[in-house]
């Protein structure tokens, strides 16, 4: 049986590429691609007129249920949802139970990813022991074991001294520190952006300035130490202005955002809609527009799913008590494509934000269409419409803030090293 797969007449989109043509997969690798060329005899032919073939998506921020929270999600269920969303590489957060602060756990996550056959897992190492924000973890050993960067996940490093030490230490082996940009003392027990709406609903508020204050501090610490800091799920215009200015000064600062922060605003929490309770919380409309502008001008380096699986019982609570977080693997591509359709982004820019650019931040060779590269591929119809329905999503986690949203862009197939794993 031939190991060849031939994609005929597709639109090929990747870093620096947007052409109509063909692509040949042989023995799990991209053997050739370009304008129309001959199909090898015996190859399996994939024809999808009007479809786009791009690298498998690279999701640089997602929580997995394992270890410790398998009732929310398992690696197997996350891999199923990822494949359905066109994701073939995923960076997993370390604030599990136990936290990923031991080299053996880093290696275990990598192995578990390979065992799925459809998903490469790139583990983040815990920045502090137990992700408690106190004593630094063994960053050097975690890096040797395969940790791609260091973070305490959804917990901010509140101590300036700890953050300075982390940046200095990680600089020695070329690693990034990934920060949840929110001043813990200002955020307190808040659960919504401080605003007229949070006051009307009687919800404890988090000032939007809590994000910018943490960003300003860590930019200064990065400048002081020469270390590299990455800000996750940036959601406010003020923070993005600070990042834009820091980049112009040559400071080693990068950032990502997630679909809720450019597609939704604080009104999505409605009357205590817990599926829309996220961390950071949804912002005002002017911040949402600022995030879109920062995607377009290159200030934001990547779009991540920010997948935070939650069980139904985590959300069936009063808003202030419900767990923050939304599932995002299945909706990552579709929500991003909405901003291609409305003209905010070009298709090539959107795909780069979901593939090559996050891969580069993670030090991975994934996310590119290149001869000889692993054939991790996503084939999607950019115009087909589908409706997001909680309870009908692939995988275990159903807590989507996009419940009821109509999206254009359906994944037709996902391939991992040339093997079809979805569609």
Which residues are the active-site residues?
A: 306
Q: Are 359 and 302 in contact (CB under 8 A)?
A: no
Q: Three-state DSSP class for 410? A: strand
Q: In the chain, count of helices (H) and strands (E)?
A: 14, 19
Q: Are 18 and 347 in contact (CB under 8 A)?
A: yes
Q: Are strands 253-257 and 5-14 parallel, antiparallel or unpaired?
A: unpaired
Task: Return d(Cα 150, Cα 235) in angstroms, integer.
Answer: 21
* Overall residue count recorded for the chain in this entry: 423
Q: Are 88 and 117 in contact (CB under 8 A)?
A: no
DSSP summary character for residue 300: S
Burial letters 255-290, b for 16+ CB under 10 A, else e:
bbbbbbbbbbbbebbeeeebbbbbbbbbbbeebbeb
Q: How far is CA 156 from CA 26, 163, 211, 254, in A?
A: 45, 10, 10, 16
């Amino acid at each position: 049986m031939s190991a060849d797969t031939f994609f005929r007449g597709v639109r090929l989109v990747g870093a620096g590429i947007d052409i109509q043509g063909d692509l040949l997969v042989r023995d799990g690798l991209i053997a050739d691609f370009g304008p129309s060329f001959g199909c090898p005899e015996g190859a399996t032919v994939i024809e999808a007129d009007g479809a786009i073939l791009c690298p498998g998506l690279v999701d640089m921020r997602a929580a997995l249920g394992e270890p410790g929270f398998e009732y929310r999600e398992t690696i197997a269920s996350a891999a199923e949802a990822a494949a359905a969303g066109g994701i073939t590489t995923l960076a997993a957060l370390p604030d599990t139970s136990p936290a990923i602060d031991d080299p053996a756990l880093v290696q275990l996550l990598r192995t578990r990813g390979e065992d799925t056959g459809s998903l490469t897992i790139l583990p983040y190492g815990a920045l502090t022991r137990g992700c408690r924000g106190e004593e630094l973890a063994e960053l050097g050993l975690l890096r040797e074991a395969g940790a791609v960067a260091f973070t305490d996940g959804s917990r901010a490093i509140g101590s300036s001294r700890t953050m300075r030490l982390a940046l200095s230490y990680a600089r020695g082996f070329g690693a990034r520190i990934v920060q949840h940009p929110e001043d813990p003392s200002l955020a307190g027990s808040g659960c919504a952006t401080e605003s007229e709406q949070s006051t009307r609903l009687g919800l404890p508020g988090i000032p939007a300035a809590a994000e910018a204050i943490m960003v300003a501090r860590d930019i200064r610490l990065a400048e002081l130490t020469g270390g590299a800091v990455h800000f996750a799920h940036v959601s406010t215009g003020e923070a993005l202005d600070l990042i834009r200015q820091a980049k112009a000064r040559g400071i080693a600062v990068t950032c990502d955002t997630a679909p809720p922060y450019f597609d939704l605003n604080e009104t999505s929490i409605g009357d205590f809609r817990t599926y829309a309770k996220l961390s950071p919380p949804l912002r005002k409309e002017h911040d949402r527009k600022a995030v879109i502008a920062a995607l377009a001008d290159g200030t934001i380096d990547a779009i991540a799913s920010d997948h935070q699986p939650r069980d139904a019982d985590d959300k069936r609570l009063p808003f202030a008590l419900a767990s923050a977080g939304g599932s995002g693997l299945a909706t990552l591509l579709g929500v991003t494509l909405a901003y291609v359709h409305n003209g905010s982004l070009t298709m090539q820019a959107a795909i780069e934000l979901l593939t090559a650019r996050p891969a580069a931040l993670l030090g991975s060779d994934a996310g590119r269409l290149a001869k000889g590269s692993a054939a991790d591929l996503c084939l999607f119809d950019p115009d087909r419409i589908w409706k997001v329905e909680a309870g009908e999503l692939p995988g275990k986690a159903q807590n989507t803030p996009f419940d009821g949203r109509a999206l254009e862009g359906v994944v037709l197939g996902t391939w991992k090293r040339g093997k079809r794993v979805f569609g």
